Structure 1
Amino acid sequence: MAAENLDTGSLTPTKYWHRLEDGRVQCDVCPRYCKLHEGQRGLCFVRANHHGQIVLTTYGRSSGYCVDPIEKKPLNHFLPGTPVLSFGTAGCNLACKFCQNWDISKSRELDTLMDQASPETIAKAAKELDCRSVAYTYNDPVIFMEYAIDVAIACRELGIKSVAVTAGYICEEPRHEFYQYMDAANVDLKAFTEEFYWKVTGAHLQPVLDTLKYLKHETSVWFEITTLLIPGLNDSEKEIEEMTRWVMENLGPDVPMHFTAFHPDWKMRDIPPTPAATLIKAREIAVKNGVRYAYTGNVHNEAGDSTYCHHCGTRLIGRDWYNMTAWNLDAQGKCKACGTPCAGVFEAKPGNWGARRLPVRLANFAA
C-alpha cells in the first residue's frame, strides 16, 4: 500500500470510510478494513486515500466487455440460454493464490483498463446486443460498487437485469446498498474452513457466510454458489459434507451449488487439475444432503451440467457445456411431467445464445 500519484481525472468520491485518530483513513467497504495514508491504495488497488477521503480510481473504465452465455457466470436458474454483457475492472479485495483471472484481478497497471464507458452506454449496448442482463465479473464488483450501482440503475431503466459475480466479501452497510440494485448473483464460497480462507485467500470465512444468509433471508436476489475444488486443499468429503449441510440448514434446498474444476494458475501451478471424479462425488454428497440443484463445472459432464426435477427426476434443462440440449419446463417454470415448480427465474421460453463468446467495444455504442 505504498503511496503514489493518482490520476485525479478519474477519481470518484465514496462514502464507506472514516478517519482514524492517527490521520489515516479506513475503508469500510470490505472486512479487510484497509487503513491508508494520503496517496495510498488499498489491497484492492482501486480504492485510495485522496485528500483525506476514500475515492474510487477506476470509475467508467473496464478491462474489456464480452457477451457470454449466462451459464458461464455460472447461473443455471436465471434466464437460461440468454446472453449477458460481462465486464470487470482491475484489482480485487481478496488475494487468492489460485486466481483464474489473475491478469485482471491482480493487475496493478491501469493500462489493463483498456475500454471506457458511461453507465448509460453500457445499458444501451446491452439493449442493442439483445442481452437480458449485465454481469459485473472477472474481478469483484464489490470494489467498484459505485460504478456497478450506476450501471445497474441505467440498465434497470431499459429493462436489463444486473448480475454480481462475487466472493461475497463485503461489510454490512455497503452490502445492503449494493444488493438493492442486483437481480442475481453468483457467490464464490471458496472453501468451508477458516484456515483455507486465511492462508489461501488472505480473507475470512464468516463474512462470506453472512452475505449468503443475507441474500437468502433479506433480499429477493436470485443467487447460486460456486466452489472451486482444489486437490488437497478444500476437496475432502468431510469438508463438502459440512459445507452442504450448512447450506441446507441456513439457505434451504433450492440454492444451486456448482462444484468446479481447478486448473494450475497464478501461484498454484504445482497443484494438479481437479479430477472429474472429485466433482461428481461432491455433487453426489450435495444431493444426498438435500441440495436439489447441484452441478459440476469446468469438465465435460452432461449429467452434471443438467437440471432435474427434484420430485420426479425428469431432466428439466439439458446442458452440454453451455449448449442447451433439452427444455422441459412449462411457461410457469414447472416440470412438464409432474407440475412441480423449479426454483429460479425463468421466462416462458429459454434463450438460444448457446456457447458463443462475443468481445465488444463499447466505443461503438457511445452516443
Structure 2
Amino acid sequence: MAKSNWYKKLEKARNTIQCLACSNYCQIKNNQTGICGIRKNENGKLKLLTYGKPAAVNLDPIEKKPLFHFLPDSQIFSFGTAGCNFRCAFCQNWDISQLPKLNKEFVKMIEKTKETWPPEKIVEYCLENKIPSIGYTYNEPTIFIEYAYDTMILAKKAGLKNVFVSNGYQSKETINAIAPYLDAINIDLKSFSEKFYQKICGGRLEVVLENIKLFHQKNVWVELTTLIIPQENDSEEELNQIAQFIAQIDKNIPWHISRFFPAYQMNHYPTTPIKTLETAYQIGKKAGLNFVYVGNVLTDNLENTHCPKCQTLLIKREGYNIEIAESFKDGRCQKCQTPIVGIWK
C-alpha cells in the first residue's frame, strides 16, 4: 500500500476523509474504500491498495489506445490496476475494472499481494527495451494516481513520454498535478447525454466536458473516442452534438468513432452497424473536424490520415499495420507543406 497526499481530513466527521483523486470526491469512513474500491481510509489516512500491483501489463501498438497522432507505429508499455470510478455497463475490461465490487475478498487479497512493478522497474524496462512511452490504461488511471504520478515523474526525467487512456473524470487537483508530466490523453466521450452518464456509467457529463477543455488548455495532446452503442448514443442528433462540441474546442482534435460489440451487462445489445459508423464519420467531417477515424472494424480508408488541406495520404492504417507515406515527414505534408498537428517524435 502507498500513503497518499490526494485527500483531506473532514473536521466534522471523526476519522472520515475526502478523496481528491477524481470528481466523485468520495467521503470515506475508517476502514472503508471509495467508489473505486482501491482507495482505503486507514485510521484517517488514505492509502492506495494497488500501488506497484498492476492487474495487466502489456506491450501494445500505440494505435490500440487509440492514439493516431502520437508516435505512430511505435510500441507503448501499458499497465493498469483493478478498480474504477465508473461502472459502465458496457465495459470491455469489466473483469479488472469491477473486480473490487465483484470479489468481496478483494481488499484482503490485494493487501497480501506483493509489489511486482514499482515505478523504477517500469521506467528501467522501457529504457532497456527502447520503448518510448508508458500508457496508464486498461482501467481508469486516475484512481491509482499516486502510482501513476510517481511513474510519470521518473519517466519524464528519463526522456520517456506519458499517456493516459481515461474517462476524463479527474479532479481539478489531479489535472493540475499531472499536466506537466502528461504528454497525451485519449478521453472517452461516451455520450452527450447526462442521463446516459448517470444511468449507464455512474458519472456526470458536465465534468468530462470541462476536463476535456482543461487538458487541451494545458497543452496536453488530446484525442477523443466515442463507442457508438445502438439505441443508446447513436442518434444523428447526439453524434452531431459531440462533433460540434469538439469543433468548438479545436477542429484538429482527432475523434475516434468506435464500433460496439456486446459486452458485460450489455451483451444482449446488437453490434453497431457499419452504416451508423459511416454516418457518424460524415457528421464529424461536416462539423469541420479535420481528423475523424472509425475503429474496431476494418474499413476502407476511414482509419487513414490525410492532409486536411490537399487530401494527400500521409499515414495508411489497416488494423495495426501502419505505413507512413513518403509524403509525410517532420510533421508536415510534403506536398503542400501544411503542418499536421500531433506529437510525431
Give 1:317's match in structure 2, choosing from 315, 318, 336: 315
Q: What is the count of residue pairs matched by the alignment?
A: 336
| 1:235 CA drift (Å) | 1.0
Q: Where does residue 99 of structure 2 map in the other structure?
A: 107
1:81 pairs with one of 73, 76, 84: 73
User: What does residue 169 of structure 1 align with?
Assistant: 169
Contact 2:32 2:41 in 1 (8 A): yes
Structure 1 pair 18/174, CA: closer, same or farther in 2 (3 Å)?
A: farther
Q: In 1, distance between residues paired with 2:266 and 2:114? A: 27
* CA distance in structure 2 between the partners assigned to 1:261 and 1:328 by the alignment: 30
Aligned to 2:296: 298
Map 1:216-365 → 2, pairs under 5 A: 216-217=216-217, 219-249=218-248, 251-347=249-345
Which structure has more RCO (C-alpha within 8 Å, separation ≥ 6)?
1
Distance in 1 between residues matched to 2:40 and 2:175, nearest whole Å: 20
Q: Distance in 2 between the 1:175 and 1:85 partners?
A: 22
Equivalent position to 1:47, from 34, 39, 60: 39
In the TM superposition, 1:61-72 aligns within 5 A as: 61-72=53-64
Q: Which amino acid aligns with 2:10?
A: R
Q: Displacement, 1:174?
A: 1.7
Cα offset, 1:92, TM superposition: 0.4
Q: Distance in 2 between matches of 1:316 and 1:282?
A: 22
1:153 aligned residue: 153
Q: Which residue of 1 aligns with 2:89?
A: 97
CA contact (8 A) 1:12 1:59 kept: no
Residue deviations 1:3-31 (CA, integer Å, cap 9, x gap):
xxxxxxx2422333331513322222222
Cα shift at 1:115: 6.7
Letter in 1 for 2:301: A
CA RMSD of aligned residues (A): 1.6
Structure 1 residue 132, shift from structure 2 partner = 1.0
1:114-154 deviation per Cα after TM superposition (whole angstroms, max 9, x unaligned):
87112111001112222110000000110011111111111
> Which residue number in structure 2 is paired with residue 353 of structure 1?
none
Pick closer, same or farther for the CA change 1:302–1:71 going to 2, 3 Å: farther
2:103 equivalent in structure 1: none
CA offset at residue 79 of structure 1?
A: 0.5
Cα deviations by residue, 1:59-100 (Å, 9 ceiling, x for unpaired): 111012111000000000000000000000000001101101
* Superposed structure 1 runs of 4+ greater than 6 Å apart: 112-115
Query: Could you tell me which amino acid in structure 2 is paired with residue 32 of structure 1?
Result: N
Aligned twin of 2:213: 213
Farther-moved stretch of structure 1 (27-36 vs 262-271): 27-36
Secondary structure of the residue aligned to 2:302 is helix
- Structure 2 CA distance for partners of 1:329 and 1:157, relative to 1, 3 Å: farther
**Aligned partners of 1:230 and 1:262 also within 8 Å:** yes
Match of 1:19 among 6, 10, 22: 10
Counterpart secondary structure, 2:332 = coil
Compute the TM-score of the two structures, normalised by the length of structure 1: 0.88
Q: CA offsets, 1:153-175, max 9 Å, x none? A: 11122211010010010111221
Secondary structure at the aligned position of 2:34 is classed as coil
TM-score by length of structure 2 reads 0.94
Instruction: Give the match's secondary structure for 2:265.
Output: coil
Percent identity reads: 39
Question: Structure 2 vs 1, CA of residues 115 and 28 (structure 1 numbering), >3 Å: closer, same or farther?
Answer: closer
